Structure 1
Amino acid sequence: INDDIKNLTIVINGMSKAYAMTGWRIGYSACHEDIAKVMSNIQSHATSNPSSIAQYASVEGLLGDQSYVEEMKKHFEERRNYMYETINSIEGLSCRKPEGAFYIMVNFSQLLGKNIRNYNINSSMDFANFLLEEGKVAVVPGVAFGDDNYIRLSYATSLENIKEGLKRIKELIEE
């Protein structure tokens, strides 16, 4: 990249996905020094400082051996693919294969208006409560993300947990 383009380029990223450091709230940017100063001024008034432990762990993640990152990505892909295929095989559920985060947004709109085990499913909150109370499966209602026809599932857990959770969901819906 020539210097003119380099001076106009801003890269913003975080540690959450690439290094499985969700909840640490560490991000970074690469940009021209003048832009970085302005960003720093704005950020200092918007959020508090991350702990020194989180900062050192992030530096190690960025500068350390990257081989484990590829291994971790393989595990995430395996879990994502399993969830994608299984969800789309469950009657009344569908999803698209995610390309970024470790969440899957599950469309359950075919179940809206139905009564399952004496639970009226009229919203993502209803469906989430039903899954939690009857199946002991925790999901996030889609209304929190602006679409009440969806729930959000995470695959940032073991494949064992994913298999068990999806088995419970399938049993509840298809019984």
Structure 2
Amino acid sequence: MTERASLSQKISAIAESATLKVDAKAKALKAEGRPVISYAAGEPDFATPAHVVDAARAALDDPANFRYSPAAGLPALKKAIVDKTLRDSGLAVEPNQVVVTNGGKQAVYQAFQVILNPGDEVLLPSPYWTTYPEAIQLADGAPVAVFAGADQDYKVTVDQLEAARTEKTKALVFVSPSNPTGSVYTPEETERIARWALEHGVWILTDEIYQNLTYDGMRAVSIVEAVPEVAGQTILLNGVAKTYAMTGWRVGWMVGPAPAMKAAANLQSHLTSNVNNIAQHAAIAALTGPQDAAEEFREAFDRRRTLMVDELSKIDGVNVPVPKGAFYVYPDVRGLLGREWKGRRIETTLELADLILDEVEVAVVPGEAFGPSGYLRLSYALGDDQLLEGIRRLQALFA
């Protein structure tokens, strides 16, 4: 390939999604007939609620849905999002402060594109979801990781954020409940971080896609509810994928100050235009219809969470903080490193994840995908029998 015909350096530098890569490898092995159990994907194993599917089916009977619709979202869906934002995040907004996107990832991408200029720094609490640093860099920003380990329940402090802040700091990513750790900030912790951001004029991008999946009586208090004054410098990211088992429907959204959302809508008008109309009608049904199925999903996740934590904790060398939200556990497995397993010296969790897949056909995501080595992410969004069988294999491997 000639220099003139070479590919974009920016796009060539993007790393493949580590979680999707591991999940794809696991699915390929399954297709070969291998009995692989995968804890890799953050995808509920439940069917989308029937009333949601019925709404999509009914939408197919209306020819209006076969045409272009407003790039920023159907008015009825934006109204449903306005109501949800008030109900769950404690923030009153207008429809012009909402942009409906093709899944949560597009909302993340557009949020950084809207607020960042070249060289702006974004404080990124670590462990972090694998897409955040890539989306920041695609907007010519610089991710600045701020690590909090298992001893802190994977939650950063204001002191850590202040130590990382520079004159170039433009934004903070705040995620509670967290992917990959399942940690949930307390209302007091959330308020302290919000007031710090307010004091220093730092934008907040808060990913709330797991806000309805919390346990042990914990509630994920939105940062804009904790300190309402910070709403003028906050973009909320959300979607129907996790709560309603709708990952493949690709409906997310962003909520924020009207000027920022106008800019995001302008970008989207050129990038993708409107989200699929049928999927938008399904999302309306999810947000406004019965919530019984969503609660059943949450209760099942809670049961699986307890099972996974209890069983993983039986493995010597594995420390498992109890997650309070989402559907992941993030064990500290440094006690398994620097040792020989099945004739192989294992120094990193990349090597550990390969060993686990090779020896017992269990797919996990290594900590390097989310920050430092020494940790694994396991999703408990899979059937109870498979969940237990996979952990039994791990217990046997590390006995």
- Answering whether residue 342 of structure 2 is matched by residue 113 of structure 1, we say no
Measured after TM superposition, the shift of residue 108 of structure 1 is: 1.0
Distance 1:99 1:67, change over 3 A: same
1:104 corresponds to which of 329, 345, 351: 329
- Answering whether residue 348 of structure 2 is matched by residue 160 of structure 1, we say no
Bigger drift between 60-69 and 129-138 goes to 60-69
Measured after TM superposition, the shift of residue 30 of structure 1 is: 4.1
Superposed CA deviations along residues 90-144 of structure 1, whole A, max 9, x for unmatched, are: 1111221222321111211011111111122111111101110111100111101
Where does structure 1 lack aligned partners over 5 or more consecutive residues? none
Q: Partner letter of residue 337 of structure 2?
A: L
**What is the rounded CA distance, in whole Å, between the counterparts of 1:60 and 1:2 in structure 2?**
21
Where does structure 2 lack aligned partners over 5 or more consecutive residues? 1-90, 94-227
Bigger relative contact order (CA 8 A; separation at least 6): 2
Superposed CA deviations along residues 4-46 of structure 1, whole A, max 9, x for unmatched, are: 97x8475432222221223544212345554432232244566
**What is the rounded CA distance, in whole Å, between the counterparts of 2:298 and 2:349 in structure 1?**
30
- How does the TM-score come out when normalised to structure 1? 0.84
Superposed CA deviations along residues 52-84 of structure 1, whole A, max 9, x for unmatched, are: 443332222112211111111000111111111
- Answering whether residue 311 of structure 2 is matched by residue 80 of structure 1, we say no
In structure 2, the residue matched to 1:137 is 362
User: 5 Å matches for 1:6-155?
Assistant: 8=232, 11-31=236-256, 33-44=258-269, 50-155=275-380
Q: Partner letter of residue 18 of structure 1?
A: T
Q: Partner letter of residue 158 of structure 1?
A: G
Q: Partner letter of residue 64 of structure 1?
A: G
- Count of residue pairs brought into register by the alignment: 173
Bigger drift between 46-55 and 33-42 goes to 46-55
Bigger drift between 99-108 and 150-159 goes to 99-108
3-state SS of 1:28 partner = strand
**What is the rounded CA distance, in whole Å, between the counterparts of 2:370 and 2:338 in structure 1?**
21
Q: Partner letter of residue 327 of structure 2?
A: F
Bigger drift between 67-76 and 10-19 goes to 10-19
Q: Partner letter of residue 22 of structure 1?
A: T
Measured after TM superposition, the shift of residue 172 of structure 1 is: 0.3
**What is the rounded CA distance, in whole Å, between the counterparts of 2:92 and 2:278 in structure 1?**
36
Larger helix fraction of residues: 1
In structure 1, the residue matched to 2:394 is 169
- How does the TM-score come out when normalised to structure 2? 0.39
**What is the rounded CA distance, in whole Å, between the counterparts of 1:173 and 1:109 in structure 2?**
13
